[in-house]
Amino acid sequence: MANFISREEAQRITERALSFSRADQARANLSSSETGNTRFAQNQLSTSGDATNATLTITSALGQRVASATTNIFTDDALRRVVETSEQLARLVPENEEYMGELGMQSYPASRPYFDSTGELAPERRAQAIAAVTEQAVARNLISTGFLIHEAASNAVATTAGLFAYGTNTGVNFTTTVRTADGTGSGWAGTSAHDFDDLDTRALGAIAVEKALRSQNPRAVEPGRWTVIMEPTTVGNMVNLMMNQLGARNADEGRSFFSRAGGGTKLGEQFVDGRVTIRSDPNDPRVFSTPFDGEGLPNKAMTWVENGMLRNLDYSRYWADKQGTQPTGFPSGWHMDGGDSTIDEMIRSTERGLLLTRFWYIRGVDPRTILFTGLTRDSTFLIENGEISHPVKNFRWNESPIFMLNNIEMMGAPVRISSGESSGLTNAVVVPPLKVRDFTFTSLSDAI
Amino acid sequence: MKRREFVRHSAVGAAGMGLVGNADLLHGILVPSTLGRGISQDRDALAAAALNAARTAGADYADIRIATNRTQRASTRERIVSGVMDSETSGFGIRVLVDGTWGFAASRDVSLDEVARVARVAVAQGRANRAAQRRPVELAPLDWTGRGEWRSPIEIDPFTVPIEDKVALLLQANEAAMAVAGVAFANSNMAFLREEKFFASTDGVITDQTIYRAAGGVSVTAVAPDRSDFQSRSSNEIAPRGLGYEHILNSDLVGGATRWAEEAVQKLSAKPVQPGRYDLVLRPSHLWLTIHEAIAHPTELDRIMGFEANYAGTSFISSPEAFLGSFRYGPEIMNIQGERTTPTALSTVGWDDEGVQPDEYLIVKDGVLNDLQTTREQAPWLSEWYASQGRGVRSHGNSYGQSWDVTQFQRMPNVNLLPHPDRDVSEAELIDGVENGILIDGDGSFSIDQQRYNAQFGGQTFYEIKNGQVTGMLKDVAYQIRTPEFWNGMDLIGGPSTYELGGSFGDAKGQPAQSNAITHGCPTTRHRDITIINTGRRA
């Protein structure tokens, strides 16, 4: 059994802590995890780490005065001190009219995002999974680097109003970058999973090796507006940027792409291609997530975008109350529907375009249009007359997921990706590959 | 990085939000610092137990970091206190070398039994990793062994200042911003860290350091009356520092809020920039980030050698032998210094996270690449270069781990662009020589490729320069550069009177990504013939 706090232990610690509370209302958030990771570089393991940690945060409210305190020690003395500290702070801060009070018992959707294969993963097994990549690289005289990280974790929320919620989850992420010894080619592959048994590092290594070899000695082609075939990782990176902007409050306040000129929001408007549908559901095995948020509010199944139309925005409890609607919750995982085209079919249908593997250093430029900048890396190919003709130099792009999702030509089957740039344990994201026209590249990069 | 990510990745954020405190502190009574408060055991005894257990299990080298992190954050929006969070967490991490292979393990349970157990876990892990070893790790020798203490040079311990004073100051800053016509929203925040870090290694170093960090900021948003536009201005020139509460008091957030608010409103009607080629005059509040991305990162030796290829990337500086002593980074007036001694800078410490006293060195000397950032593992990789220069092999003391639960690795020191070597060039002189240019204040959007060639930077405010005069505000400005041409196009740099420190809590590197707090000192500079794009695009 992985070393995290069990339901019974969580109940005991949160009950004990709340028993010391003298506030009008209080909440305990207890999270614990056992994490392990192994890095490799130059075809050998470089560093690795195993850690266990747990933190308890107490939020105390005296009327509308609210403050929080955190500890990672759970002796009676420490629990008493963390509760007292939050109360002393709360006593001294002004009233917060947006504090909504603590929730009582809730019912949650079933969700089973825990797998023993990940929870019990030992360093030896990590080393074997990595050897499946380094061996292939060594055999082809290539240099492999990469990262495997896994976690088994529990989260609990308890309130003085009688709420207790507890959930466990596991996650694993594996990515590898394989480079040629002379530095003229670079390939990448990676994904994430809840279940370590879903991860095939040998197959991912083979993709990265193949791309490293094919991407050698790239030629420069002009930046500008290009038809692009986006592998799923790049699609997920872009759509994530839009998902992060779904806050209802900013939209209502006129400082979001989802604000409507003249007042109100874009709810109910079609704003992207009619084939775009994005949903989240804590109980969907493809995008399992914890069924409650930090306040203990249930994360319901939600449709955010349906047939290109904005169906929902993310309402906090306060903002929903103010606007006379229901809070939505915001599950960490999400899923975007796709189509039935394969990447090969997308390539064959393209007279002149680019195939994109991975994006890098994605940063906001203009929030009014969700415009971001970033670069391609680790294999970018020119497509001419329905075939990959040769590798090309990387580009800087300045583009928005909104423009991109309005320019869709073809869609493929959705797959789970490694959704964060640092290949950490991030939310479950399932997206299709896309063929998109008029993707904006603004300059060339010499980086390989 | 977006502001939200920035905060999430910040050292304070990573250390956790919340606190366990001494009740007296909260009422503003000055009491001595509660050193090692979360840890009841004698840290010398814990360290001895850990290092002995590691050696007995077969480690050739071991070190332990035992830390207690105290953090406090207060955040507001408009007239609301949106969060007050205080945290105190403790734990330890043990790193071992087994036949030249690293192992690392960590736990929050700071007890004699647990340090011994975790030491054995680290050794077992090193042994498991050894199977794939191709080149064993060797450590550079230490110049110094012994026992030492170091503290950040603070004046006011932020944890002794009453919380009501802190939130009152933030709310006052928001009021000042919202008093400006056209301003709809104002957020402000403060964050403080005290890290008590005890280090011991089997090489005979024991250090006890208390590190403070403080940050405060305001962000103002103006919305056009017809909701056709919105513009924000952040107080990015107020850089976080290795200081106490005096940093907040000296930053004058309330006075600044009025100006930031006026500038946010002014941006709504500013002239959109015409894309093209311009000369740039860059203030330190902006330039620190360009130095960070285009000089500090590409001169990290682990990155150059491919150890970060899967995330942070490699470097255009490859191989080191081909570049050291010959690569012209910029003009002769360009000198880049690495150090960890500048008072109040965020990388400043007594010893790094493997017990090395950092030294001061020139990464770029008279415009030519001269040295690279190293740890004990990396310094020996440059032994031929050092021998050719008549220098010994020693780590520059650039090892750091963001907290006790992750392994330490190479992180940048304070990397500074030194002011003009000969005279005190003023900003007016820099502007005077520009026919068609842009003056940039504050850092904004930033992105650079994984080998640090192609970068794009925005800013907070932009001013048109025509024939040596600043003529008015511009908006939607970003510049795109290729690193070597950008620095070689720097034709004049400001003197000591223009020199300032910029920085951030949130520099990510490594896997899992670790956050490093960074400071870069620099003067105002001038750069010729730079590509400007217009970032305003309509849906």
Question: Mean per-residue pLDDT for B443-471?
Answer: 97
Q: Confirm or reject contact between A51 and chain B (CB < 8 A).
A: yes
Best residue in B5, B20, B192 for a mutation probing chain A (most A CBs within 10 Å):
B20
* Structure tokens that stand for A141 in this block: 């005289």
Residue B102 has pLDDT above 60, yes or no: yes
Q: Is the pLDDT of residue B26 over 50?
A: no
- What 3-state DSSP class applies to B11? helix
| Number of domains chain B contains | 2
Residue B33 has pLDDT above 50, yes or no: no
Residue-wise burial string across B244-269, b where 16 or more C-beta atoms lie within 10 A, e elsewhere: bbbbbeebebbebbbbbbbbbbbbbe
Q: Is A352 in the same domain as A234?
A: yes
Residues B290 and B353 in one domain: yes
Model confidence at B332: pLDDT above 50: yes
Does a structural domain hold residue A438?
A: yes
Mutation to test the B interface, candidates A31, A32, A45, most B Cβ within 10 Å: A45
Q: Given the DSSP bridges, would you call strands B80-98 and A65-71 parallel, antiparallel or unpaired?
A: parallel
Average pLDDT for A159-172: 97
Residue A54 and residue A180 in one domain: yes
- Domain-located, residue A298: yes
H helices of B84-138, in order, are 112-130
Tokens of A180: 């040629």
**Residue where a domain terminates, one of B203, B233, B268:** B268
What's phi and psi for A30, nearest 5 deg?
-120, 120
Residue A2 has a pLDDT of 75
pLDDT single digits (tens) A427-441 = 899 999 999 999 999
Is the pLDDT assigned to residue A329 strictly greater than 90? no
Based on the domain organization, do A169 and A228 belong to the same domain?
no
Which residues lie below 8 Å from residue B520, measured CB to CB, with a gap of 6+? B288, B289, B291, B292, B296, B414, B415, B416, B417, B501, B502, B503
How many Cα atoms occupy the beta-carbon half-sphere of A310 within 13 Å?
20
Q: What is the CATH number of the domain that holds B263?
A: 3.30.2290.10
On whether both A186 and A242 belong to a single domain, the answer is: no
Round the average pLDDT of chain B to a whole number and report it. Answer: 92
Within this chain, do residues B340 and B257 fall inside the same structural domain, yes or no? no
Per the structure block, which two tokens stand in for A71? Answer: 């500890």
Please give the pLDDT value at position B38.
54
Same domain? For B290 and B243 the reply is: no
Shared domain for B256 and B280, answered yes or no, is no
Which range marks the domain in which residue B88 is found?
Answer: 3-268
pLDDT beyond 60 at B12: no
pLDDT digits (tens, 9 = 90+) for B60-92: 999 999 999 999 999 999 999 999 999 999 999
Residue A82 clears pLDDT 70, i.e. is over it? yes
How much is the ipTM here? 0.94
pLDDT score of B15 more than 90: no
pLDDT above 80: residue B35: no
The pLDDT value recorded for residue B30 is 24
Residue B66 tokens, joined: 């035992």
pLDDT tens-digit profile of A247-293? 999 999 999 999 998 899 999 999 999 999 999 999 999 998 889 99
Considering the domain architecture, whether residues A173 and A236 belong to the same structural domain is answered as: no
Domain identity same for A299 and A355: yes
Residue range B301-330: average pLDDT?
97
Taking CA atoms, A98 is separated from A21, A102, B178, B281, in Å, by: 22, 12, 19, 44
Q: Within a domain: residue B539?
A: no
Kindly report the nearest CA distance between residue A301 and chain B, in angstroms. Answer: 25
Nearest by Cα to A412 from A382, A435, A392, A438: A435
- Same domain? For A224 and A206 the reply is no
Chain A residues inside the 8 Å CB shell of B167: 93-94
Q: Which residue has the higher pLDDT, B189 or B30?
A: B189
Closest CA to A439 of A410, A411, A403, A412: A403
Query: In terms of domains, do B399 and B416 share one?
Result: yes
Per-residue pLDDT tens over the stretch B274-298? 999 999 999 999 999 999 999 999 9
A177/A295 same-domain check: no
- Let me know whether B178 and B118 are in one domain: yes
* Per-residue CA distances from B386 to B371, B391, B395, B420 (Å): 9, 5, 12, 27
* SS3 readout for B229-278: CEEEEECCCCCCECCCCHHHHHHCHHHHHHHHHHHHHHHHCCEECCCEEE
- Kindly determine whether residue B132 and residue A127, on different chains, have CB atoms separated by under 8 Å: yes
Cβ distance of A261 and B476 shorter than 8 Å:
no
A176 contacts chain B (CB < 8 A): yes
pLDDT value, residue A1: 56
Contact state of B185 with A422 under an 8 Å Cβ cutoff: no
Chain A CB contacts of B445 below 8 Å:
363-365, 373
Residue B178 has which token pair? 């919202």
Task: Tell me which DSSP letter residue A118 carries.
Answer: H
A263:B227 CB<8 A:
yes
Same domain, B400 and B372: yes
Examine the domain organization and report whether B336 and B296 are in the same domain. Answer: yes
Statement to judge: residues A306 and A409 lie in one domain: yes
**Residue B473's pLDDT band (boundaries 50, 70, 90)?**
very high
Boundary of a domain, candidates A166, A188, A212: A212
Reported confidence tier of residue B10, pLDDT bands at 50, 70, 90: very low
Range(s) of the domain holding residue A232: 218-246+268-312+330-448
Q: Both B251 and B367 in a single domain?
A: no
What pLDDT score was predicted for residue B14?
28
Place A186 in a pLDDT band, splitting at 50, 70 and 90: very high
**Quick check: is A89 in a domain?**
yes
Q: Which amino acid does the sequence have at B450? A: Q
- Integer Rg of chain A from CA: 24
**Average pLDDT, stretch A143-172?**
97
Tell me the C-alpha distance between B299 and B369, whole Å. Answer: 9
Residue of B nearest to A251 (CA): B227
Residue A345's pLDDT band, with cuts at 50, 70 and 90, is: very high
pLDDT at B408 over 50: yes
Give CA separation, A388 vs A344, A349, A384, B97, B212, in Å: 10, 12, 6, 46, 55
| Nearest neighbour of B89 by CB, restricted to A50, A67, A71 | A71
| Residues A44 and A171 both lie in one domain | yes
For residue B406, which residues of chain A lie inside 8 Å, CB to CB?
Answer: 49, 51
Say if A171 is an interface residue toward chain B (CB within 8 Å). Answer: no
Q: Which has the closest alpha carbon to B205: B352, B2, B322? A: B352
Helix (H) / strand (E) element for A11: namely: helix A7-19
Q: Which of B245, B268, B291 is the last residue of a domain?
A: B268
Is B19 or B186 the better-scoring residue by pLDDT? B186
Task: Calculate mean pLDDT across residues A45-70.
Answer: 95
Q: Across the interface, do B163 and A93 touch by the CB < 8 Å criterion?
A: yes
| Average confidence (pLDDT) over A20-39 | 97
Claim to verify: residue A206 and residue A279 sit in the same structural domain: no
- B459 and B311 in a common domain: yes
Q: CA dist B466 to B281, B491, B534, Å?
A: 12, 18, 19
Distance (Å, rounded) from C-alpha B390 to C-alpha B367? 21
- pLDDT, tens only, A87-135: 999 999 999 999 999 999 999 988 889 999 999 998 889 999 999 999 9
Asked whether the beta carbons of B517 and B213 are under 8 A apart, the reply is: yes
Cα separation, A113 vs A288, in Å, equals 5
Instruction: Classify residue B135 by burial, with Cβ atoms within 10 Å: 0-12, 13-18, 19+.
Output: exposed
- pLDDT value of position B39: 66
- The reported pLDDT for the residue numbered A290 is 86
Q: Say if A45 is an interface residue toward chain B (CB within 8 Å).
A: yes
User: Mean pLDDT over all residues of chain A?
Assistant: 96
Query: In the structure, what pLDDT confidence band is assigned to residue B380 with cuts at 50, 70 and 90?
Result: very high
From A179, which residue of chain B is nearest by alpha-carbon distance? B309
Q: Cα(A448)–Cα(A437) distance, rounded to whole angstroms?
A: 25
Which of A212, A237, A254 is the last residue before a domain boundary?
A: A212
Q: What is the DSSP string of B359-416?
A: --EEEEETTEE---B--TTTGGGGHHHHHHTT------S-EE-SSTTS--EE---EEE
- Facing A147 at nearest CB: one of B1, B310, B458: B310
Last residue of a domain, one of A167, A195, A212: A212
Q: Provide the sign of the torsion angle of the four alpha carbons B76, B81, B82, B86, taken in this order.
A: positive
pLDDT in tens, A189-220: 999 999 999 999 999 999 999 999 999 999 99
CA atoms within 13 A on the CB side of B149: 5
| Cβ contacts of B4 on chain A, cutoff 8 Å | 244
Quick one: B351 and B261 in the same domain?
no
Q: Note whether A146 and A164 are same-domain residues.
A: yes
Residue B257 within a domain: yes
**Final residue before a domain boundary, out of B268, B292, B309:** B268
Q: Is residue A253 part of a domain?
A: no
Same domain, B260 and B362: no
How many domains, in total, are found in chain A?
Answer: 2
pLDDT digits (tens, 9 = 90+) for B522-539: 999 999 999 999 999 875
Instruction: Answer yes or no: are the C-beta atoms of B199 and B150 closer than 8 Å.
Output: no
Among A346, A344, A395, smallest CA distance to A374 is for A395
Query: For B85, which of A68, A92, A254 is closest by C-beta distance?
Result: A68
